[in-house]
Structures are given as structure tokens and as C-alpha cells.
């Protein structure tokens, strides 16, 4: 039985000092976890991202590195569940592919090995819709069996997607050969409170808001018909919790928001929620900037997540963007 109850359980979030980790820690603590450990080297995450949780006596922040087995073995002692988040996404992979390959591949292998050694009962692995790739092949419903498209995508995006495919297969290997149950959740672009600047598509929301704040017109690439499919961070925190609670193992499912939006719709929504602003300008590509494009209208189908772990998204973009904007008004985005 692969189910790990939250109440009274002990959990570690590897790479937990950031957007998804902080929301998930709050979710697990609210559901009665006896202990939540946030393990992070804070190379990208920030103490400020977890400051709101710091005084909770059931939360422990552990400075450690996934490239150091000793750190992982010590931190995993006594844990029932481990959520693996530490990763370089596309923008960081573009700057430092060497470090990205280390963390996204060997770091995952190290964490799985430490989890088995310490008798952890279940692992949840944060994968990504990057496992479907980018570019002209991406259109229609993306389901878990959709293959990887890479033609026309930036190299860093392909490398990132490929590392997530490898991470998923390492999880399957540890389930098959070492008996460690796992669930893979393929997140679509995350947005919400404690938003950072590391995800290309979510960064676009922040850039649009910043332009509007300065009274400048938001920029839309192309004709604005390009699709983006986001997921609200609180919905993902719930998905992570439910993946531990469910009996599911050895399965990979998509986690996306209720519906996709076009860039034009997104900019209109952000402008409306920001209290109005100038009409957008339509621009061409910025040289040197990593952009993630798709070939046509697409939707990341999340029905299988409901079958496997009982999850479906609850927060639509208007609601979630409203929460992000309210949070930004009191805080700077965490780098």
C-alpha cells in the first residue's frame, strides 16, 4: 500500500525553499503533518520565501545540497514521504547547463538513493510539461502518452525537458528495482504567491505587471494567439499532498490549471486586474531571450490526475492572478 497519511506523518521537501516548496509545506502542516523539513542549498530559493512558516514548531529548515549524499542521508532520517523539487529550469539551464545536469539528474538519483536507504515510504517527483517539449509539434490535447517534441525549441528547454524525462525514469527504476513507491506529477507553468523570476512563462506575467505599473504598454509576441497553460501554486500544493495520500504508485500525471489562455487573453486579464492600463503592443522576438513557443492551440489534459490521485484544479486564472497581484503589492517577487 503506497498511501502515506499526512496527519502525524513526517515529510521532507528537497528544494523546498521556494515557490512550490513553501506552498506545499503550508499545505502539509495544515493537514496535520508531525514534521516538515525544507531541505535547500538556497542557491535559488530564499529564506524570505519561507519566512511566513519559520515560527511553526513542526517546520525545520535544513541547509543542504543534493550533490552531497551525506547531507541527504542525514536529512532523510525518520521521514515518511519525500517531495523532490530541487531543479534548474530552462532559464537557469541556459545560463549553466553543467550545474543543471548535475542537480536535475545526479541530484535526483542521490535523493532516491538516500530515500531508499532511510526507508522513506513514498517519493513524489516534480516533473514538468517540458517532457512534451516545445515548438511546432505542440498542439491539441497533451496527454501523458504524448511524445517529446523538440524541433524548433531552444536548446536549454530541450535539455531541461530531457532531464525531467530522465528523472521520471530514475523514479520508475527505484520503484521496480528497490521497491520505493513514487508518483510523478508533471506540473504546467506555476504561478502564485512567492512567485520568482526563474520560469519563462510565469516571468511574462511579472513583466506585464511591471510594465503596467510604469504606465507602459505590455508587449505581446506575434499576434497573441499563442497558448499558455498555467497552474496555481495552491492547487499544486494540494496535488502534492494528494499524491502522498493516494494509493497510487508508478504513475505519471499532468497537473495543469482549469483551462489554457492565449497570450492576448492573459494580458487583458492582467490589465483588468491591475486596474487598467495602456493597450498592448505587438512585437517580434528579442535576440538572446529564451522564449517557449508552441505550434498551435494546446491544452495540458489533467483528467488522468483525477483518476490516479483524485485531483483536479480549483483556482482559475482570474482568481489566481488576483491572489498573485495582491501578494506582489505587499512584496517584491523573490528573485
Q: Which is nearer to ligand NAD, 212 or 236 (CB)?
A: 236
Q: Which of 33, 79, 82, 190 binds ligand NAD (CB under 6 A)?
A: 190
CB of 168 to ligand NAD, least distance (A): 12
Which grid cell sits at 2? Answer: 503506497
DSSP-derived 3-state class of residue 251: strand
Q: Which of 18, 240, 249, 254 binds ligand NAD (CB under 6 A)?
A: 18
Q: Is 158 in the site for ligand NAD (CB under 6 A)?
A: no
**40-48, 136-144, 244-252, 282-290 -> range binding ligand NAD (CB under 6 A):** 40-48
Q: At what angle do helices 233-245 and 19-30 cross, to 10 degrees?
A: 50
Write the secondary structure of the chain as one string of H (helix), E (strand) and C (coil). CCCCCCCCCEEEEECCCCHHHHHHHHHHHHCCCCEEEEEECCCCCCHHHHHHHCCCCCEEEEECCCCCHHHHHHHHCCCCEEEECCCCCHHHHHHCHHHHHHHHHHHHHHHHHHHHHCCCCEEEEEEEHHHHECECCCCEEECCCCCCECCCCCHHHHHHHHHHHHHHHHHHHHHHHHCCCEEEEEECEEECCCCCCCCHHHHHHHHHHHHHHCCCCCEEECCCCCEECEEEHHHHHHHHHHHHHCCCCCEEEEECCCCCEEHHHHHHHHHHHCCCCCCCEEECCCCCCCCCCECCCEEECCHHHHHHHCCCCCCCHHHHHHHHHHHHHHCCCCC
**176-184, 190-198, 208-216, 313-321 -> range binding ligand NAD (CB under 6 A):** 190-198
CB of 308 to ligand NAD, least distance (A): 18
Q: Is 65 in the site for ligand NAD (CB under 6 A)?
A: yes
Q: Is 148 in the site for ligand NAD (CB under 6 A)?
A: no
252 - beta bridge partners? 184
Q: Name the closest residue to ligand NAD (Cβ).
A: 45
Q: Is 103 in the site for ligand NAD (CB under 6 A)?
A: yes
Q: Is 89 in the site for ligand NAD (CB under 6 A)?
A: yes
**28-36, 61-69, 171-179, 213-221 -> range binding ligand NAD (CB under 6 A):** 61-69
Q: Is 85 in the site for ligand NAD (CB under 6 A)?
A: yes
Q: Is 189 in the site for ligand NAD (CB under 6 A)?
A: yes
Q: Is 76 in the site for ligand NAD (CB under 6 A)?
A: no
**4-12, 183-191, 240-248, 285-293 -> range binding ligand NAD (CB under 6 A):** 183-191
CB of 21 to ligand NAD, least distance (A): 6
**64-72, 208-216, 281-289, 324-332 -> range binding ligand NAD (CB under 6 A):** 64-72
Q: For binding to ligand NAD (CB under 6 A), which residues are involved? A: 15, 17-21, 40-45, 65-67, 85-87, 89, 103, 107, 126, 128, 187, 189-190, 196, 198-199, 202
Amino acid at each position: 500500500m503506497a498511501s502515506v497519511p499526512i496527519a502525524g506523518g513526517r515529510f521532507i521537501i528537497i528544494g523546498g525553499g521556494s515557490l512550490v516548496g513553501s506552498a506545499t509545506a503550508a499545505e502539509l502542516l495544515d493537514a496535520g503533518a508531525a514534521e516538515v523539513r525544507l531541505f535547500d542549498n538556497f542557491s535559488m530559493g530564499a529564506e524570505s520565501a519561507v519566512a511566513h512558516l519559520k515560527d511553526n514548531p513542526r517546520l525545520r529548515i535544513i541547509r543542504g545540497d543534493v550533490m552531497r549524499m551525506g547531507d541527504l542521508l542525514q536529512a532523510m532520517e525518520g521521514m515518511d514521504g519525500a517531495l523532490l523539487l530541487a531543479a534548474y529550469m530552462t532559464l537557469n539551464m541556459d545560463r549553466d547547463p553543467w550545474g543543471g545536469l548535475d542537480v536535475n539528474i545526479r541530484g535526483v538519483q542521490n535523493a532516491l538513493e538516500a530515500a531508499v536507504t532511510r526507508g522513506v515510504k513514498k517519493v513524489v517527483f516534480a516533473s514538468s510539461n517540458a517532457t512534451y517539449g516545445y515548438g511546432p509539434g505542440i498542439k491539441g490535447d497533451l496527454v501523458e502518452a504524448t511524445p517529446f517534441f523538440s524541433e524548433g525549441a531552444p536548446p536549454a528547454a530541450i535539455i531541461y525537458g530531457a532531464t525531467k524525462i530522465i528523472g521520471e525514469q530514475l523514479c520508475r527504476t527505484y520503484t521496480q528495482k528497490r521497491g520505493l513507491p513514487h508518483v510523478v506529477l508533471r506540473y504546467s507553468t506555476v504561478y502564485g504567491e512567492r512567485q520568482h523570476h526563474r520560469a519563462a512563462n510565469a516571468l511574462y506575467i511579472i513583466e506585464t505587471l511591471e510594465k503596467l505599473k510604469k504606465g507602459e504598454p505590455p508587449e505581446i509576441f506575434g499576434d497573441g494567439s499563442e497558448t499558455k497553460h498555467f497552474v496555481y501554486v495552491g492547487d499544486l500544493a494540494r496535488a502534492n499532498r494528494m499524491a502522498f495520500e493516494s494509493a497510487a504508485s508508478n504513475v505519471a500525471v499532468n497537473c495543469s490549471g482549469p483551462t489554457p489562455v492565449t497570450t492576448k487573453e492573459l494580458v487583458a486579464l492582467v490589465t483588468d486586474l491591475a486596474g487598467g492600463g495602456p493597450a498592448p503592443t505587438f512585437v517580434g522576438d528579442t535576440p538572446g531571450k529564451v522564449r517557449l513557443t508552441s505550434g498551435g492551440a494546446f491544452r495540458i489534459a489533467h483528467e488522468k490526475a483525477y483518476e490516479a490521485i483524485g485531483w483536479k484544479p480549483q483556482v482559475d486564472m482570474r482568481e489566481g492572478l488576483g491572489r498573485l497581484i495582491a501578494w506582489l503589492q505587499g512584496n517584491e517577487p523573490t528573485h
